[in-house]
């Protein structure tokens, strides 16, 4: 019964999304106020119906109702509750439902909190958002119905892929989708602005918080995913340049560019068409990711349920959404007036450089991901593009972006002073040089590339903090003055400092852990000691253990340093009951400067066990940095400007001009 | 300016067509260049830390052999790996490996983790030898007949049906003839 309610709610949601997608759009065009007024209540009710639908499916999972095909295929009664719940979105149909839930959530949020938006703009935004939702709802009801019944119902379900039964991965998709789908807001605003033919500072101010929030969530989602790969795949790597990983990286890169360029529209009324285009591209890349993951056009380690028929539907949808919006762009964008001239060396100039580098990097990833497909379509040849390509193209593009990110925030709008900015970064430069030299002298083996990487990361952290210290005049004046300045510094400035420093910390983590990792792969017998990175790993033996729905073989290692005990590490190999599958659970022991990482493999039949032991310096900085980036985004999001919301259009422009001249003086 | 603004649409059209064509293709289907040609002359050193390298002479001993091109950074290689392990366990036909553009320590670790089905593995750090073999990417798998000619080539990860319905029957046929 509950399941039918869920199914029916989904059908009602589709009907509402069509109403919401059509009426307000026409109403805004022809000036029918009552049609425009439909948008808000319908958006909220539609979210209500999708929530009911989602709750119904969750109910079916928690209650292990195997008469539902989706539950029978993906769940099992002996699974812990957390994974019963995360099982809802651990499959193709359920994850689509989560997609739509978040999509309608964002629309409802605009409807509830968008009181200060001009009614026509709000109506158009909600319409575009609803049309995207209609496409997904139609797709679910026609080709991927999560509520399909199974008669007769089996007594037991087939279980969730054990690799996915993990707390890190349980929350990875919701964050990822909050990011992907969050960019749909920027997209809807862009399309609405193209229909209106007007993009101004006020528009940018409305779009930015949505983009920023989506970006923060996507950052967290990607970080969670790579953290999961790090400890669950048991391979010690955290990024494999797999098509599915690239699918999440591309919207992130484009979204990062969008975040920065929307700032230029807001402050300087320039770069409008480019910003609109980026908003369209960012969401298009999110959709492309969905297509790649679900259509089976590319081989990947973690492709979803792949089905060409679904691929055809998503491709048609993709053509409609992306092709439609780009056509609109081609027609309307030339009419957008752009103001705000600026010199090449200026905040705008730095942000354009940032955009060029980020979008080029995004394009190289796109090319690397789709190249096998292109070549196959054109010549029938098959290739697989691996990390060597991405390392050769992506890394050199990011290096100048990092240098620029250190300087950019110090340049004034319109016309900046590069020499002055560098002068204010003297301390940061000195720290960077000192750290680079220290690396050269003290590190056992220091390849030039690694030292440059360390210098880049240090530079970004030092420059971000240096700029902040300069702004609050720390140690330069009386403490009261510093406190007053710190208090009056906008939250957005704190956000920039935190996020940029976070990026620098992540860079340091990536470079240092990749360069100075020590690993020992060998067969050990009980009592054997293995030295790794200054630590002694002593193998104490094997235990058998039983978990909720798996049997485990647990290796026990005593770890000591200079004779002092540091930790007992217990890596496991688990064999799950249903489906019968083996997973590795690495034991990870973080120390302040490194991760100790142990994996137990198969027995060799003669009392020995294959083991892999790693010492990974600074590897946790990667995720710490990513979290800082997201925190910086959230801090910036809490800025007064966003909370108060943008005032009406006319006054907004005047206000922005005033703000700009102040910023230029500061 | 007009052209500039339609450029994104044009580029997307190309991508969309490619995606559409891609949907009709199976990313694992087989092209047939080099079939029937003799294997190239080559000699590859072993992967550091593993005993035997691979050279053309090893494949001209009058024995039918399977040659698998793999890399530790290649995701799809992991998919087909259990099949190679199974074939190696049965021992009916030798399986050799060409380790493509890989760091020796990564390759060794990979073999340790997933098992080592190979009798001999040649380390092709630069990928030059693989070019002579006509390798487009990894994984690829060749069947070499008794006279040292390429009898069959599979591109992409092998599925159980590829191994059991095509490759192994062909190997048996070549061994019999």
Q: How many CB atoms lie within 10 A of CB A544?
A: 8
Question: How confident is the model over A473-495, as a mean pLDDT?
Answer: 81
Q: Among A165, A195, A230, which residue terminates a domain?
A: A165
Does a structural domain hold residue A198? no
Residue A557 pLDDT: 92
Helix (H, G, I), strand (E, B) or coil at A552: strand
- Domain residues of chain B, as ranges? 31-176
Domain assignment present for residue A109? The answer is yes
Which tokens go with A142?
A: 């026609």
The residues near A661 (Cβ < 8 Å, ≥ 6 apart) are none
CB under 8 Å to A514, separation ≥6 — which residues?
A450
Under the banding of pLDDT at 50, 70 and 90, the label for residue A13 is very high
Which run of H or of E encompasses A658?
helix A649-665
A299 closest CB neighbour out of B16, B113, B156:
B156
Q: Where are the beta strands (DSSP E) in chain B?
A: 43-44, 54-55, 65-70, 95-100, 121-124, 140-144, 150-155
Contact between A103 and A95 (Cβ < 8 Å): no
Of the listed ranges A2-16, A25-39, A620-634, B16-30, the one predicted with least confidence = B16-30
Residues 6 or more apart whose CB falls under 8 angstroms from that of A627 comprise A220, A223, A502
- How many CB atoms are closer than 10 A to CB A64? 17
Is the CB of A381 less than 8 angstroms away from the CB of B6? no
- As a 3-state breakdown, chain A gives helix, strand, coil percent values, each rounded to 5, of 65, 10, 20
Unique residue bearing structure tokens 């790794």:
A532
**How far does B149 lie from chain A, in Å, by closest CA?**
21
- B73 neighbourhood in chain A, CB within 8 Å: 240, 386-388
Which residue from A604, A614, A616 is spatially nearest to A542, judged by alpha carbons?
Answer: A604
Q: What's the rounded Cα separation, in Å, for the pair A418 and A423?
A: 8
CA-to-CA distance for A281 and A365, rounded, in angstroms? 14
**How far apart, in whole angstroms, are the C-alpha atoms of residue A173 and residue A179?**
10
Looking at the complex, report in whole angstroms how far the Cα of residue A542 sits from the nearest Cα belonging to chain B: 18
What integer best gives the mean pLDDT of chain A? 85
Question: Which of A386, A597, A599 is the mutation pick for testing B, counting most B CBs within 10 A?
Answer: A386
pLDDT digits (tens, 9 = 90+) for A136-185: 999 999 888 999 888 888 888 877 777 777 787 788 888 999 999 999 99
Best probe of the B interface among A241, A292, A317, A384, by most B CBs < 10 A, is: A384
B31-176 placed in CATH 3.40.30.10 = yes
CB within 8 Å: A301 and B8: no
Number of separate domains in chain A: 2
Nearest to A219 by CA among A497, A510, A503: A503
B105 contacts in A (CB within 8 Å)? Answer: 519, 521
- Whether residue A338 lies inside any domain: the answer is no
CA dist A115 to A103, A178, A206, A395, A640, Å?
19, 23, 12, 44, 17
Confidence of residue A660 (pLDDT cuts 50, 70, 90): very low
Residue A139 is assigned to a structural domain of this protein = yes
- The Cα A315–Cα B12 span in angstroms is 12
Say yes or no for a CB contact (<8 Å) between A323 and B6.
no
Identify whether A573 is part of a domain: yes
Residues in chain A within 8 Å Cβ distance of B71: 386
Q: What pLDDT is attached to residue A221?
A: 93
In a domain, A113, yes or no: yes
Query: Does residue B4 or residue A131 have the better pLDDT?
Result: A131
Cβ of A311 under 8 Å from any chain B Cβ? Answer: yes
CB-based contact A386 B101, cutoff 8 Å: yes
How many degrees, rounded to 5, is the angle at CA B110 between CA B109 and CA B115? 105
What pLDDT was estimated at residue A303?
Answer: 43
* CA angle at A93 for the pair A88 and A98, rounded to the nearest 5°: 60
Percent of chain A exceeding pLDDT 90 equals 39
Predicted pLDDT at A39: 92
ipTM of the complex: 0.80
Residues B73, A311: C-beta atoms closer than 8 Å: no
**What domain range is A578 assigned to?**
518-617
Q: What residues in B contact A285, CB-CB < 8 Å? A: none
- C-alpha span between B175 and B91 (Å, rounded): 13
Please check whether residue A319 touches B, CB under 8 A: yes
Q: Which of A165, A200, A219 corresponds to the end of one domain?
A: A165
């Amino acid at each position: 019964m509950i399941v039918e309610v869920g199914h029916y709610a989904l059908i009602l949601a589709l009907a509402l999304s069509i109403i919401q997608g059509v009426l307000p759009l026409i109403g805004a065009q022809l000036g029918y106020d009552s049609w425009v007024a439909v948008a808000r209540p319908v958006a909220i009710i539609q979210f209500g119906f999708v929530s009911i639908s989602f709750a119904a499916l969750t109910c079916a999972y928690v209650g292990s109702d195997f008469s539902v095909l989706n539950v029978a295929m993906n769940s099992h009664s002996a699974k812990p509750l957390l994974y019963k719940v995360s099982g809802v979105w651990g499959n193709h149909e359920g994850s689509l439902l989560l997609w739509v839930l978040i999509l309608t959530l964002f629309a409802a949020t605009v409807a509830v909190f968008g009181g200060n938006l001009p009614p026509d703009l709000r109506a158009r935004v909600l319409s575009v958002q609803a049309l995207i939702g209609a496409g997904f709802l139609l797709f679910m009801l026609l080709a991927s119905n999560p509520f399909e019944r199974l008669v007769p119902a089996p007594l037991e379900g087939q279980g969730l892929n054990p690799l996915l039964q993990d707390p890190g991965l349980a929350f990875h998709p919701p964050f990822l989708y909050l990011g992907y789908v969050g960019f749909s807001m920027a997209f809807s605003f862009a399309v609405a602005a193209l229909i209106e033919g007007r993009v101004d500072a006020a528009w940018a101010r409305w779009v930015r918080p949505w983009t920023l929030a989506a970006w923060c969530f996507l950052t967290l989602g990607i970080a969670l995913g790579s953290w999961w790969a790090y400890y669950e795949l048991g391979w010690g790597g955290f990024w494999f340049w797999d098509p599915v990983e690239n699918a999440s990286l591309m919207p992130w890169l484009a979204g990062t560019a969008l975040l920065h360029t929307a700032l230029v529209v807001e402050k300087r009324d320039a770069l409008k068409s480019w910003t609109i285009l980026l908003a369209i591209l960012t969401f298009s890349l999110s959709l492309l990711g969905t297509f790649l993951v679900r259509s089976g056009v590319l081989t990947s380690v973690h492709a979803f349920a792949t089905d060409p028929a679904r691929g055809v539907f998503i491709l048609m949808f993709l053509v409609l959404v992306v092709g439609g919006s780009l056509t609109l762009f081609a027609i309307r964008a030339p009419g957008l007036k752009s103001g705000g001239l600026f010199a090449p060396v200026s905040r705008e100039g730095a942000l354009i450089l940032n955009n060029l580098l980020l979008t080029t990097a995004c394009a190289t990833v796109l090319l690397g991901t789709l190249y096998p497909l292109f070549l196959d379509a054109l010549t029938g040849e098959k290739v697989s593009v691996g990390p060597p390509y991405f390392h050769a193209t992506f890394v050199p593009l990011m290096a100048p972006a990092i240098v620029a990110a250190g300087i950019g925030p110090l340049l004034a709008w319109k016309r900046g002073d590069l020499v002055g900015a560098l002068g204010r970064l003297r301390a940061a430069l000195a720290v960077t040089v000192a750290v680079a030299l220290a690396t050269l002298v003290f590190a056992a083996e220091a390849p030039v590339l690694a030292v440059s990487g360390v210098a880049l990361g240090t530079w970004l952290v030092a420059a971000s903090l240096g700029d902040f210290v300069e702004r609050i005049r720390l140690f330069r004046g009386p403490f009261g003055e510093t406190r007053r300045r710190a208090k009056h510094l906008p939250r957005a400035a704190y956000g920039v400092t935190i996020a940029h420093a976070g990026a620098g910390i992540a860079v340091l983590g990536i470079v240092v852990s990749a360069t100075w990792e020590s690993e020992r792969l060998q067969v050990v017998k009980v009592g054997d000691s293995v030295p790794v990175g200054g630590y002694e790993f002593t193998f104490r033996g094997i235990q058998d253990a039983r978990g909720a729905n798996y049997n485990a073989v647990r290796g026990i290692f005593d770890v000591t340093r200079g004779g002092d005990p540091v930790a007992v590490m217990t890596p496991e190999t688990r064999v799950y009951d249903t489906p019968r599958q083996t997973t590795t659970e690495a034991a990870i022991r973080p120390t302040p400067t490194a991760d100790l990482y142990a994996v137990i493999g198969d027995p060799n039949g003669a009392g020995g066990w294959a083991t892999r032991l790693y010492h990974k310096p600074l590897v946790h900085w990667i995720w710490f940095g990513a979290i800082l980036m997201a925190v910086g985004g959230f801090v910036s999001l809490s800025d007064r400007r966003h909370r108060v919301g943008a005032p009406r259009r006319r006054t907004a422009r005047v206000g922005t001009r005033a703000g700009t001249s102040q910023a230029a003086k500061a | 300016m007009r052209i500039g603004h339609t450029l994104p649409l044009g580029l997307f059209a190309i991508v969309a067509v490619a995606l559409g064509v891609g949907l009709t293709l199976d990313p694992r289907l087989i092209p047939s260049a080099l079939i029937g040609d003799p294997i190239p002359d080559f000699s590859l050193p072993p992967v550091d830390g593993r005993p035997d390298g691979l050279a053309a002479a090893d494949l001209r001993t009058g024995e039918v052999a399977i040659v698998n091109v793999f890399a530790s950074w290649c995701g799809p290689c992991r998919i087909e790996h259990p099949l190679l392990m199974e074939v190696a366990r049965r021992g009916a036909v030798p399986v050799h490996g060409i380790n493509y553009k890989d760091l020796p320590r990564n390759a060794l670790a990979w073999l340790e983790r997933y098992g080592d089905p190979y009798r001999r593995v040649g380390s092709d750090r630069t990928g030059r030898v693989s070019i002579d073999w006509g390798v487009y990417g990894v994984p690829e798998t060749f069947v070499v007949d008794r006279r040292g000619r390429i009898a069959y080539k599979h591109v992409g990860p092998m599925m159980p049906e590829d191994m059991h319905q095509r490759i192994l029957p062909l190997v048996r046929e070549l061994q019999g003839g």
